[in-house]
Chain A
Amino acid sequence: MKINFLKYSRFSTVTFTFLLLLVFQNLYAQDETNSVKANITLSFSKADSINEIKALVTHVDSSNKENPAKGIEVHFFIKKSFGLLPIEGDNTTTDENGEASVEFPKDLPGDSIGNVTVIAKVEDNDELGELETMKSVKWGKPVIIETTHPRALWASGNNAPVSLVVIISGMVAGVWAVIVYILYQLIQIKKSGTYEIKNQN
């Protein structure tokens, strides 16, 4: 049997080269994005009737000094129950002070006391890589879920109507009490039979 070694060796060379490239590419990419130490912080300010969210982006230079990062695109979000709500604005790119800002929308629902979680992100930036921060602020409209009929057919299992729980539990308990009684009768049959055997002996 003739084995085509060339075929197998070529295959493995190609695979090896591909893997090598992949590893180097990853290393290079990591090196590129993590070369600068950067930071992002959130602050909130209120002027007149406008609520403003401000993000400050800074980077640390070679002399370990923190400087504002200019021209960085910042994305603002509000955390929802599932997923994020993006907030758009005109000043989302950082200025010479490293600041970007958006206006907090009015009438945005918050939790029961009006808290909302604001998130600011720098995504896939060539110099700073990925940055993210989040902070809570009491700017949302408090949302209180009205529970005028907490116990209902359509509610969760814990809020089933009392009458339904009582009726079903009562019926189940009644029927199962009879079953337990019958099982007890089976024990009595066995006991009675054991007594009979002893008497016969």
Chain B
Amino acid sequence: MESVKKQDDQMHELLADLLPQKFGRQGNLWVAFLFIIVAIGIYAYIQQLRFGLIVTDMRDFSSWGIYISNFVFFVAISLVGSLVSAILKLSNVAWRTPLVRISEIIAVAAITFASIIIIVDMGRPERFWHLFVYGRIQSPIIWDVIVISTYFVISVLLLYLPLLPDLALCRDSSRPFPKWRRNLYKILSLNWHGTKKQYDIVNKSIRILAILVIPLALAIHTVTSWLFATTYRAGWDSTNFGPYFVSGAFMVGAAAVIAVMYVLRNHYNLEKYITQRHFDNMGKLLVLLSLIYLYFNINEYLVPAYKMKVVEGIHLDELFTGSYAPMFWSVQIFGMIVPIIVLLFKKGRNPVPIFIISVMVVIGAWFKRFLIVTPTLLHPFIPIQGVPESWLHYNPSWQEWAITSASLAGSLLIITLFVRIFPIISIWEMAEEKGINPELITNRNEN
């Protein structure tokens, strides 16, 4: 009897800590800030729709710019869903529980904006449906459309299924939620009552999706890399590109989870749930992923640099010592080498240093995608001759920066609003870990 009371108290505590909380002043300011950036981006996009892609700095040679860099970045980040929800789950890593939903919402937000930004890059977005009707199945672009839409659906399901018991907890909670939210919880919880049958279905479905999402995650970023690698261009013409992209994606995804979990931990006082151990373990994971990425980087740059084929040579000179050198070396040093060195030390995996390192990795990863896309385009095989001066370089216009910033702000907005409405740490799974009786988890009848 005493044990039941103790478990009930534990459940009360979990609910008090983990049910969605109101934004404070900081939260409201943050949301307002994100909305302003999104609004500026929408204004810039209206201009782009009105005047066409001429408002960007993309021209005949640099036909892909920061929109495509941003797209590759988002696809990369989205892979973290499969890393934490699937790979760590199937490896029976117990400490992952508080991080699963964080990584899944990052994946959903990222893949949503990857899809949006690709439409933004189109000169005639109203013809997007042509891709499905007139697309050539031989084209990697169509493969990308197929895997991205499929990965989006599976990511949403992987977010939604483990959310069902928590939605029921929100529905039955005595907290004064507004009516619309109660209705939302009621609809989304699908009459969840925590029966054995319901738990069996959810657990089986999550397991199936966890297995399915791994090859799909590899496919999504491998196919994205093939958009480049299937083209005979300096810097892209590589058989290494698939694993190179996938390893980079896992690295930036892990860094994004660390950064978000640090902010949430501090803002919502989740120190009991996201502990020092989580940062330490994620730090070890990040350093492993960074080392793998370093290995692929060495392959990607050292082998062509040893051979120095003419066009590859021009491209590599531009990166190593030319106009892109400051960006290239900053990305390699601060986005990869320094993180590896710092995270190898235990103190480097403490929350504050690992948060700073993770932000560095994420920023570095964004610029790395820019370095993959743009310099290659500006170095075609046939020398550029007799073209307007503006075609020779690529400096994104303010509209491009505004739209790109809006997409980044939009993805953060999805995460922020999700945290406002839904529990960001799985309450029922935390309760299960604490050994609380399933009866006490769902049948609380707090109304």
**A residues in contact (CB < 8 Å) with B:** 153-157, 160-161, 164-165, 168, 172, 175-176, 178-179, 181-182, 185-186, 188-190, 192-194, 196-197
Contact = CB atoms under 8 A, between A and B. Distances in A.
B191 A194 contact: yes
A186 B190 contact: yes
Given A168-B143, A182-B205, A186-B190, A192 B212 contact: no
Contacts of A176: 150
Given A157-B134, A164-B137, A192-B197, A182 B209 contact: yes
Contacts of A157: 134-138
B384 interface: no
Nearest to A168: B137
Tell me whether chain A's interface is mostly helix, strand or loop, or mixed: helix
Contacts of B161: 182, 186
A172 B202 CA distance: 24
- Which range contains the number of B residues in contact with the other chain? 20 to 34
B198 A193 contact: yes
A153 B138 contact: yes
A160 B136 contact: yes
Contacts of B143: 168
B195 interface: yes
A164 B138 contact: yes
A175 B209 CA distance: 10
Interface string B154-197: 10010001001000000000000000000000000011110101
B134 A189 contact: no
Interface string B36-59: 000000000000000000000000
A155 to B, nearest CB: 8
Nearest to A158: B136
A197 B190 CA distance: 12
Interface in B218-254: none
A124 to B, nearest CB: 35
Closest 10 CB pairs of A and B: A193-B191, A157-B136, A190-B190, A196-B193, A160-B137, A153-B138, A192-B197, A185-B205, A189-B190, A185-B201
B327 to A, nearest CB: 35
A98 to B, nearest CB: 48
B243 to A, nearest CB: 20
B191 A188 contact: no
A176 to B, nearest CB: 7
Nearest to A200: B193
Contacts of A154: 138
B116 interface: no
A112 B201 CA distance: 63
Given A165-B137, A179-B153, A193 B193 contact: yes
B16 interface: no
A193 B192 contact: yes
Contact of B157 (A156, A179, A190, A193): A179
Contact of B212 (A165, A175, A190): A175
A19 B199 CA distance: 83
A175 B216 CA distance: 9
A108 to B, nearest CB: 32
Contact of B164 (A153, A168, A172, A189): A189
Contacts of A193: 190-193, 195, 198
A48 to B, nearest CB: 48
